[in-house]
Amino acid sequence: LLYVVVIFSWLALGVTIFSQEILRLLTTPEFYGAATVIPLLALSYVAFATTQVTTLGMSIARKTSMIAVGAGAAAGVNILGNLLLIPTWGMIGAAWSTLIAYLLLTFFYGLLSGRSLPCPWPWQKLGLVSLLAISLIIGAGYLPNGWAWQPLLLSMSYWLLFPLGLWLLRILGRS
């Protein structure tokens, strides 16, 4: 689980840092505003990626019907969140609803899997990785955008702060 969170958090940070450039490369000007929700959606997919690990206990214990229950509950949370948040917040509300639903989904799966097959998740390290990723994703909003070499060099250097932070926090590398 730790390595899934590390890898997908680093990818989420990269997508967030380069969101303006990605949108300018792949879309037309009417979609450039989507960059405002990319950080939330990127974090949502970090949470969703963890479900591949957090369902293992239920799968091994052959209690896979609970996977469907969790998915249904998460879908319900997402629909309700969309109904409540989109009228006021638009696409940002939809992104928050998705993030909340996926976080609840992975926690639900982890809890039920732990009951079926105890898994000693490294909660402290997971918390530190999450805090580091969220902090850097928030900070990425202050980076300059553009195709000039200075903004690109700064953005690439900023992206490397994540593995450096992992090393300094002793998440990976030295023990």
pTM of the predicted model as reported, rounded to 2 decimal places: 0.90
Q: Which residue has the higher pLDDT, 147 or 24?
A: 24
Comparing 117 with 174, the larger pLDDT belongs to 117
Residue at 14: amino acid letter: G
pLDDT exceeds cutoff 80 at 173: no
What value does the mean pLDDT take over residues 82-105? 98
Average pLDDT for residues 82-101, to the nearest whole number?
A: 98
Chain centre to alpha carbon of residue 117: 25
Residue 153 scores a pLDDT above 70? yes
pLDDT category at 32 given cuts 50, 70, 90 is very high
**Closest-CA residue to 101 (of 48, 143, 56, 154):** 48
Mean pLDDT of 113-127: 89
Q: Which residues, other chains included, contact 72 with Cβ-Cβ below 8 Å and sequence gap of 6+?
A: none
pLDDT at 140 over 90: yes
Instruction: Give CA–CA dist 87/44, Å, rounded.
Output: 21
pLDDT at 69: 94
Tallying the residues shown for the chain, one arrives at 175
CB 70 within 8 A of CB 109: yes
d(CA 102, CA 105): 5
pLDDT at 14 over 60: yes
Average pLDDT score, the chain: 93
Residue 151: what pLDDT?
Answer: 87
The model's confidence at residue 116, banded by pLDDT at 50, 70 and 90, is confident
Exposure b/e, 37-70, CB count within 10 A at least 16 = b: bbbbbbbbbbbbbbbebbbbbbeeeebeebbeeb
Q: Do 79 and 133 contact (CB within 8 A), yes or no?
A: no
| Measured distance CA(57)–CA(54) in Å, rounded | 7
